[in-house]
């Protein structure tokens, strides 16, 4: 490998390691945020949301740099390519030890990203369940306030439970 390729590959390896670590930190923040949601700690949730945004921005910048490095390496190995090679393709063109390190780092990063997606999916499902519950409660309140479902089909209040809604005005 020439110096330029060695420099790019070394930087790519370091970048992948940083991305793995950043992904782990992001997952830790996300897990803390999930706990804060359970406890209803809005201040902590807001602070953790800011941290999440910072992690997202950092990952975006790292991804841009990763693509630039892949582009530079693509120019060395396939100058006529129209787009950067994928990491798997590029690794196949490198010496075995380097290839193995890059592929292991790629696999580790993908595993961390998968863990994050799984956590996100669990929280999304829980949030959707809570939303459905709240919507059901709101529909019940609206129905009671509007007088819908407070009478049977015969036009009488149900025998089991009578719903009463009263209001008062505090205006002068």
CA distance 13 to 67: 13
pLDDT, residue 137, reads 78
Domain that holds residue 27: 3-129
Q: Specify the number of domains making up the chain.
A: 1
Q: For residue 18, is it within any domain?
A: yes
Q: Identify whether 135 is part of a domain.
A: no
| CA atoms 123, 124, 126, 127: torsion sign | positive
- State the DSSP code for 170: -
Position 25 pLDDT exceeds 90: yes
**43: in domain:** yes
* DSSP 3-state of 107: helix
Average pLDDT over residues 19-35: 92
pLDDT (tens digit, 9 = 90+) per residue, 133-163? 777 778 777 776 666 555 566 766 666 555 5
64 is a domain residue: yes
Q: Is residue 106 part of a domain?
A: yes
Helix (H) or strand (E) holding 61: helix 42-77
Residue 117, in any domain of the structure: yes
**pLDDT for 82 beyond 80:** yes
Coarse DSSP helix, strand, coil percentages of the chain, rounded to the nearest 5 percent: 75, 0, 25
């Amino acid at each position: 490998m020439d110096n330029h390729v060695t420099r790019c590959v070394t930087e790519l390896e370091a970048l992948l390691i940083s991305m793995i670590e950043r992904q782990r930190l992001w997952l830790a923040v996300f897990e803390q945020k999930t706990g804060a949601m359970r406890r209803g700690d809005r201040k902590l949730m807001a602070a953790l949301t800011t941290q999440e945004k910072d992690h997202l921005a950092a990952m975006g910048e790292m991804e841009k740099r990763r693509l630039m490095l892949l582009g530079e390496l693509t120019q060395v190995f396939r100058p006529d390519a129209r787009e950067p090679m994928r990491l798997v393709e590029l690794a196949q063109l490198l010496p075995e030890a380097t290839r193995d390190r890059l592929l292991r780092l790629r696999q580790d990063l993908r595993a961390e990203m998968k863990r994050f997606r799984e956590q996100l999916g669990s929280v999304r499902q829980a949030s959707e369940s809570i939303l459905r519950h709240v919507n059901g409660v709101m529909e019940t309140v609206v129905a009671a306030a509007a007088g819908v479902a407070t009478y049977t089909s015969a036009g009488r209040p149900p025998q089991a439970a009578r719903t009463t809604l009263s209001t008062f005005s505090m205006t002068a």
